[in-house]
Amino acid sequence: MAFEMKASLLVFFFFFSFALKVPIMWAHIGDFDEVWQQRETEAKRMALETYHPNPEEVNDHLNLHVHLAMQGSNSTRRTLRTNRGPCRATNPIDRCWRCKRNWAHNRKRLAGCALGFGRKTFGGKYGKFYVVRDPSDSDLLNPKPGTLRHAVIQSQPLWIIFARSMVIRLSEELIMTGDKTIDGRGANVHIAYGAGITIQFINNVIIHGLHFHDIHAGGGGIIRDSLTHFGIRTASDGDAISIFGSTNVWIDHNSLSRCKDGLVDVIQGSTGITISNNHMTDHNEVMLFGASDAFSGDSVMQITVAFNHFGRGLVQRMPRCRWGFFHVVNNDYTHWIMYAIGGSQHPTIVSQGNRFIAPHNMAAKQVTKRDYAPQEVWKNWTWRSEGDLLQNGAFFVQSGNPSKRRKYSKKQMISAKKGSFVTRLTRFSGALNCKHNKRC
C-alpha cells in the first residue's frame, strides 16, 4: 500500500512538473532525489579510485598478454596455429576460459579474464547464481521473481544465468545495481524489440554472451532501480548498453545491431571499461565515449576496445571519443560508410594492430575524423597508429608528439600484434554458441 501511494504521488509530480515546465531532467532521472545524489557521489569517488595515472602501462599489460597468447616458436607459420587442436581460442581473454570443457561448472572463472582498463572487473563472482526462467517484463515497479529485471535490482552480488534460450522484450530501460554478471553462455538470449540496459552510477558489472538488436527508445515512467528505491525516469535514448557515471565494466562477446541510438555509449565520467570480443553490425552511430565537449569530468575516462569485429552496415563512431584516454587494439574494421574513429575535445587515442579496410567511396578512405577544431588545434592531440594494417586505400591521420610517451623497460614495451593477425584474434567475436561439457 505504501509503495502504491508513493507511486501515485510520483505520477502526480511527474505530470505536474511538466505542466509547470520545470521538471528535473538530468540523466533520464525525473526525480534526482537523495538516493540518486548519494549514488552520484559514490560513483565519482569510485571513478577517481579507478583512474590510472599512467594509462599506457595498462596498454602494455594488455599487449604483453596478446604476445604471450600467440607466442610459439620463431616460425611465424607455427605461431599462427592457434585455431588447431582441441582449443580454438585465439586471443588472451578467450584463452583464459574457453579451453575448459567444464566452463559451465566453473562459470566464474570468466571473472578473472578481463584485460585492459576493465581488468579489475569481477562482476558477481562473490555472489550466488540467479537463474532467469521467465522472459517477461510486465511489472516495472515490482518485478516478478525469475525475470531479468528482478535479478538486476537485487542488493547482493549475483551471477545471473538463463535456464533456456529466450527473447526478452524490455518494457523500459533495465536499470542495474552493481556487482552483477549477466552471463548468456549456454543459451541463446536476445534483448530485443524493446528498451536496453542502463548501467548508471554503479561499479563492477560484466555483460557477456547476449544478442542485442532492434532496441527502441523508452517512454519513461516509474521504474524500480533497486530493492529499496524506485522513481521517475524520463524517456531513454534507445542504446543497447548505456554506461553512465560507472566504473569497472566489462562488455564481452555480445552481438549488437539495429538500435535507436548507440550500441554501447559510455558517458559522464565512466572509467575502467573494457569492450572486447563483440560483433557489431547494421548501425549508424556505433559507440559514443563522452557526450559533451563541455563536460571536463570525462577527462578520467579510460577505455579499452579490443578484439571486436566492426562489420557490415556500420556507418560511423567506432568509437567517437572526447576528453579521455582510449586504447583501440587488435580490432577488425571491415566496414564503415563515413569514418571509423572520431573525436573532439583533445582525446588521446592509441590505435595498435587494428585492420582497417576502407570502403570503395573515395571520400571515405580516412579512418579518422576530428570535429569542432581547426588543424592548428587538433595537431596537438595525441592520436597514434602503431602496427595498424591499412587496406583498400585506408589512411590514419596521426597527430601529437610521438615521443611524448613515457620511457619503459623492454618488458613493458612489448607491442600489440600487427594488424595482419587481427582475423585470427577476432575470429570468434560476438555471442558464442556454447554447449555444456564442450569447449566453448
pLDDT digits (tens, 9 = 90+) for 95-153: 999 988 899 999 999 999 999 999 999 999 999 999 999 999 999 999 999 999 999 99
What is the number of alpha carbons within 13 Å of residue 397 lying toward its C-beta? 17
Catalytic position from the list 119, 224, 317, 355: 317
Assigned domain for 434 exists: no
Assigned domain for 71 exists: yes
Among 8-12, 388-392, 409-413, which stretch is predicted with the lowest mean pLDDT?
409-413
Annotate 326-367 with three-state secondary structure. Answer: EEEECCEECCCCCCCEEEECCCEEEEECCEEECCCCHHHCEC
Q: Say whether 317 is catalytic.
A: yes
pLDDT for residue 57: 79
Residues 17 and 119 in one domain: no
Residues 66 and 82 in one domain: yes
In CATH, what number is assigned to the domain containing residue 298? 2.160.20.10
Instruction: Calculate what percentage of the chain has a pLDDT beyond 90.
Output: 73
Residue 28 pLDDT grade (very low, low, confident, very high; cuts 50, 70, 90): confident
Number of domains in the chain: 2
Assigned domain for 344 exists: yes
| Average model confidence (pLDDT) across the chain | 88
Assigned domain for 347 exists: yes
Using the predicted structure, report yes or no on whether residue 27 has a pLDDT greater than 80: no
Residues 296 and 383 in one domain: yes
- Radius of gyration of the chain from Cα atoms? 21
Assigned domain for 184 exists: no
What is the number of alpha carbons within 13 Å of residue 241 lying toward its C-beta? 27
pTM: 0.88
pLDDT for residue 403: 67
Residues 60 and 7 in one domain: no
Q: Is 41 exposed, middle or buried (0-12, 13-18, 19+ CB in 10 A)?
A: exposed
pLDDT for residue 176: 98
Q: Do residues 180 and 208 touch, judged by C-beta distance below 8 A? A: no
- Give the strand pairing for 221-226 and 229-233: antiparallel
Domain that holds residue 272: 41-98+114-123+189-425
Assigned domain for 166 exists: no
Assigned domain for 156 exists: no
Alpha-carbon torsion (110, 115, 117, 119), positive or negative: positive
Residues 29 and 59 in one domain: no
Residue 84 pLDDT grade (very low, low, confident, very high; cuts 50, 70, 90): very low
pLDDT for residue 31: 76
Residues 416 and 309 in one domain: yes
- Per-residue pLDDT tens digits for 335-388: 999 999 999 999 999 999 999 999 999 999 999 999 999 999 999 999 999 999
Angle at 402 between CA 396 and CA 61, to 5 degrees: 90
State how far the alpha carbon of 172 is from the alpha carbons of 12, 18, 221, 237, in Å: 20, 20, 8, 11
Residues 318 and 340 in one domain: yes
Residues 275 and 348 in one domain: yes
pLDDT for residue 230: 96
pLDDT for residue 21: 34
- Per-residue pLDDT tens digits for 264-312: 999 999 999 999 999 999 999 999 999 999 999 999 999 999 999 999 9
Residues 298 and 391 in one domain: yes
- Per-residue pLDDT tens digits for 160-195: 999 999 999 999 999 999 999 999 999 999 999 999
Assigned domain for 140 exists: no
